[in-house]
Amino acid sequence: MLFKNEEVLSPEYLPEIMPHRENQIQELARNIELLAKNKKPENIFIYGPPGIGKTASVKFVFRQFEEFSGIHTVYINTWDYNTTSALLTKIVLSLNYPIPRRGLSKDEILEKLVEILKKLKKGLIVCLDEVDQLIIKDQNALYDLVRIGQYVELPVAVVMISNFKNILARLEPRIVSSLGLTEIEFKPYTLIEMKDILNERCKLAFKEPVEEGVVFLCANHAITRGGDVRVGLECLRKASRIAEEQSSDKLKVEHVKAVLKDVKSVKMQIVKDNLNGVEKNIVEILNDGKTYTSTELLDEYINRFGQISQVALLEHIKRLKDIGLIKTKEDRTGSRGRKVYIRLLKRKRFK
Ligand SMILES: Nc1ncnc2c1ncn2[C@@H]1O[C@H](COP(=O)(O)OP(=O)(O)O)[C@@H](O)[C@H]1O
Ligand SMILES: [Mg+2]
């Protein structure tokens, strides 16, 4: 038996310890402590490149505090919820209160939320992950959120996360001053730090200590591929598959060496394993990280790869969505019918 607990190698696993994020975690925790003591907390802006523990650190701190602090914590990826109404609705639902998902006005939802918080006597801290969309589409939502604190006379704070520091430049001065943001920078990990992180995961994952050199190889691969921890985890997962095929009880350097060339980036492998030609082409277009409307994507596709019908393209987009490679979003607010926005999930991008 190779594994003790295979699950800890999955990127969704939230670790019990996060080496080299102690400072950031402490700073976040300090802020929530203020909140718990009913003192005025700071609103926080976290930034740094992908795959270096931004989301995990916030979830880590939220998990710690949710249990005993009397603070309600909500994690929201604002790609999915990028209007004030959608955000407020999501927060009410997270407090386990029923509310129709559509049909109520912003003020009605706000009133409901204020009423609930007053009743529960609970402060609120909301993490807005991938906040870029929200800032571009409806930054008044931020204003509305932090003002809830005044209505309920309980502390309310937001933690915003982005890959880009300069997204803040898009905020209106009025909103900047109402937020009064404290910035927390997440710097890329060094090789040694990456090794520590992967090492901890290995200790939990495998029955026997891995062979000397295994962690170094995986960490090095992750660092040279852009510094995303998920790449290192992917190396370990793939290598363990080889080890299992060979009925090895120990993960060895030879297993890692056999898979390194296949772990170009996390997404690369998924692409190779699952996609047909058209889908690969679509992914290649979206790989620039931009958001496309379906019409723009169709134009670009025809431009670069030749004729395809809109129906066929949408069919492939649906499949890419089903396998979790892209996100789509509908906008029905425009005057000329619905618009579909499409983008590659960040973590799936080619490096
Ligand atoms: N310091 C760390 N210790 C343990 N795991 C980490 C650490 N930093 C990142 N990870 C892991 O790396 C993966 C990517 O982290 P994530 O927080 O999603 O990155 P980001 O939000 O910065 O893009 C997750 O599986 C996370 O658990
Ligand atoms: Mg993240």
Same domain assignment for residues 218 and 277: no
Q: What is the CATH number of the domain that holds 241?
A: 1.10.8.60
- Res 348: pLDDT: 53
String of DSSP letters for 191-248: HHHHHHHHHHHHHHHBSSPPPTTHHHHHHHHHHHTTS-HHHHHHHHHHHHHHHHHTT-
Ligand 1: which atom is nearest the Cα of residue 11? 25
Q: How many domains does the chain have?
A: 3
**Is the same domain home to 164 and 278?**
no
Q: Regarding predicted confidence, which is higher, 41 or 158?
A: 158
User: Would 1 be classed as within a structural domain?
Assistant: no
Confidence of residue 200 (pLDDT cuts 50, 70, 90): very high
Q: Region 165-191: what's the mean pLDDT?
A: 92
Q: Compute, in angstroms, the gap from residue 51 CA to the centroid of ligand 2.
A: 7
The domain boundary, picked from 185, 219, 243, lies at 185
126 and 111 co-located in one domain: yes
Ligand nearest to the CA of 75: 2
* Cα-to-centroid distance, 56 and ligand 1 (Å): 5
- From residue 211, alpha-carbon distances to 150, 236, 253 in Å are 57, 12, 6
Residue 336 domain-assigned (yes or no):
yes
Contact 182, 47 (CB under 8 A): no
Kindly indicate the confidence band of residue 270, based on its pLDDT and cuts at 50, 70 and 90.
Answer: very low
Can you state the percent helix, strand and coil of the chain, rounding each to 5? 55, 15, 30
Tell me which residue has its CA closest to atom 5 in ligand 1. Answer: 18
> Are residues 334 and 238 located together in one domain of the fold?
no
Per-residue pLDDT, 334: 67
Over residues 202-211, the mean pLDDT reads 97
**Contact call for residues 191 and 220 (beta carbons, < 8 A):** yes
Q: How confident is the model at residue 283 (pLDDT cuts 50, 70, 90)?
A: confident
Give the position of tokens 């579909």.
340
Same domain, 171 and 210: no
Indicate whether 308 belongs to any domain: yes
pLDDT at 137 exceeding the cut of 80: no
- In which domain, by residue range, is 216 found? 6-12+189-263
Helix axes 106-120, 84-94, angle to 10 degrees: 30
Mean pLDDT of 9-14: 92
**148 and 54 assigned to the same domain:** yes
pTM of the model: 0.78
The answer as to whether 17 is a domain residue is no
Co-location of 97 and 180 in the same domain: yes
Average pLDDT over residues 286-308: 91
351: pLDDT confidence band, cut at 50, 70 and 90?
Answer: very low
The CATH number linked to 303 is 1.10.10.10
Ligand 1 centre to CA of 51 (Å) is 6
- Kindly state the average pLDDT of the residues 11-27: 94
Q: For ligand 1, which residues put their CB under 6 angstroms from it?
A: 11, 15, 18-21, 50-56, 197, 229-230
| Confidence at residue 101, expressed as pLDDT on a 0 to 100 scale | 79
- Same domain, residue pair 124 and 234: no
**Choice from 229, 346, 347 to test ligand 1 binding pocket (greatest atom count within 8 A of CB):** 229
Rg (CA), the chain: 22
